[in-house]
Each structure stands twice: as structure tokens, then as C-alpha cells.
Amino acid sequence: MIKLQSIEKTYPARGGGAPVPALSGIDLTVGRGEIFGIIGRSGAGKSTLLRTINLLETPTAGRVLVDGVELTALPAAELRAARRSIGMIFQHFNLLSSRTVYDNVALPLELAGVRKAAIRQAVDPLLELVGLTDKRDRYPAELSGGQKQRVGIARALANGPKVLLSDEATSALDPETTGQILELLADINRRLSLTIVLITHEIAVIKEIGHRIAVLDGGRIVEKGAVFDVFAHPVHATTRGFVDPVVNRGLPDSLRHRLSPVPAPDANPVLRITFTGDRATSPVISMLSRKFNLDLNIWHGQVDEIQGSPFGTLVVEAVGTTTAIEAAISLLRVNNLGVEVIGHALPGSLRAAG
């Protein structure tokens, strides 16, 4: 549905200096009907990348294709027409304060020269879709933040787009309203088979409704894949920085200071075990203790769901012979359970943690 090929974007520097790179070597494909999340910290280039899809930002190099049409090759008039198939919603809503809810949603159709009767036939169902039929004649100042964003979503859908771009659409909302807007976007995705690309600096947003994810750092994609896979096995340090707090992979400071990165006399290895799918509730700890005569002191753990599938992490201190611990790690890996040694418990940690 969307293909970005070898995208580069640089901005001229102030004072005639060297150009400032914003995007470098971006290759990305988004499938039809997919909810694709792009995450990055401030300055990573995610807004620039999103605006490249509809060519509100023209790439310095590379190709942008949407639904088989190369936007980067279109003359201005054809590009304007092609943009009608790409809707966009914004963090701060961008509603016209002097127009009612109905008139804000109708605006794109008015600009396209659609007749009033056809506008009414399009707008009224959209207001019902986003749950604002009773707010039809209200003005933006009379609406809550969540209601304003619903107007923005309805307006973005007015031209019947094939793609919806979401530019930090929930960042200005409270957690409860954020959940409601994400639920609405997921419902629209299912009902309309709409391709949605959303950018955010909050990975919990993508965890909630995303199918696939790309992690942006310094204008480059450093990791991408299915949401479940990236959460379960983050590879890049930037990705781990986003994922660990959300799925509780990280250790609290009270436990982290008890770890040594290298083995020390009388120190025991500390393992992080990752459980996915049916294995998330399997009795692994008791099995390892019996089979290898190990004491496994539980430091930290959590069971969560990602995209409806169970996912869990458990941090344990393994007390036993080196041979037994190595055998236990091997057995975990043979059974497709993630396991890594994250450090070694300093002397006294077992008593303190237990």
C-alpha cells in the first residue's frame, strides 16, 4: 500500500553551513489495511517521515509510492488530487473555531467542490461513526479534547481516503480518552479496511492497536517488525529503552544496584526469562528447580498481553552449580523461551531480595 524507497531528507543549515540530515536511508513498506506505528524520541525524524508519505515534506532523494502511484513523480495538480486519498489527524486537532462540528467535517468536501446534498450524505454517517451525532451543531470551544479529536478523525475521513496518517493524535489527551480514541481508530481500521500510519513517542499506543512497528533514531530506522516480536525480543538499545518500562523488563533501582556486570567471587548469575504464548503461564521455575537442583530466587516479574497474546518476563537469581545453571539455560532455549544473563548478584543479594 505504502512504499518508501531510499528516502533522504536534509534541511539547509542556517548561516550557509552544512545541510542538516533529518532522514537517512529510509526503506519502509506498509501493507494494505495495516496499523503501522512509528516511534522515536523528539528530533528522531518521525514527523518528517510521516509528512513524507503525503509529500507535505518533499524528500531530498528517494521514491514515495501510495497504492501503486509514485507521488514523487507527479506534477503539482495530480499530487493535489492524489492527496485526497490520504487523510491526516493532528495532535492539536486543527479545527476552525468559527465552524460547527458538521461544518468542520464538511470542509474538505466543500473545498473539493462537492454539492451540499452529497456533503450531507457523507458527513452525517461520519458523525455517527465517531459518536458525535448529538454534537453536530456545536462549536469546538464547547467540546472536550477527545471530542475535538473525533471531529478531526471524521474530517480526515471525509474524502474517503485509503490511508490515514496520525501525527501524535493522542499526545494531548488524558489516558482514559487516549484509550477511547485508540479503540475508535482500531474500529475504523476494521470497518473500513483503512491503512493507518501513526507516529508517537509513547510505545504503549502502538502496543494497544499496532500490527507492526518501526523504531526511528537519528533519522534512521534501527528496528522494525511485528509488534509482538519487537516487544518480546527488542534488539536495539533505543527499542529496549521504549519497551522495557512498558512490559516491565527493566529492574527497579533497588534491585539494579545489586547486579555486577561481570562475575565476582560467590556471585550468582541473574537471568531474565521471557515467556510468550502458551508458555507465559507454564510452571518453568518449579520444573528447573526439580530437574537441576537449583534454587531460583525470584527478583522481579510480570505477565502482560500484547495484541491479545500472553507475554511475561521473570528475573531470577540462579543458585547452583555452574553445570546445572548452563544446562537449565540450554533447556530454556531448546523450548523457545527467551533467556539472557543480565548480570551477577553481588554477595548478600539473595538474602536482601528474598
pLDDT interval class at 164 (50, 70, 90):
very high
Please give the pLDDT value at position 165. 97
Give this prediction's pTM: 0.84
pLDDT interval class at 249 (50, 70, 90):
low
All domains in the chain, ordered by first residue: 2-246 (3.40.50.300), 249-353 (3.30.70.260)
Predicted confidence (pLDDT) per residue in 35-68, tens digit: 999 999 999 999 999 999 999 999 999 999 999 9
Predicted confidence (pLDDT) per residue in 98-141, tens digit: 999 999 999 999 999 999 999 999 999 999 999 999 999 999 99
Please give the pLDDT value at position 351. 44
> 9 near 21, Cβ under 8 Å?
yes
Give the Cα separation of 168 and 91 in Å (integer).
5
Please give the pLDDT value at position 252. 75
Please give the pLDDT value at position 148. 96
Alpha helices in 210-348 (DSSP H): 227-232, 237-247, 253-256, 284-292, 322-334
Please give the pLDDT value at position 19. 86
> 209 near 186, Cβ under 8 Å?
yes
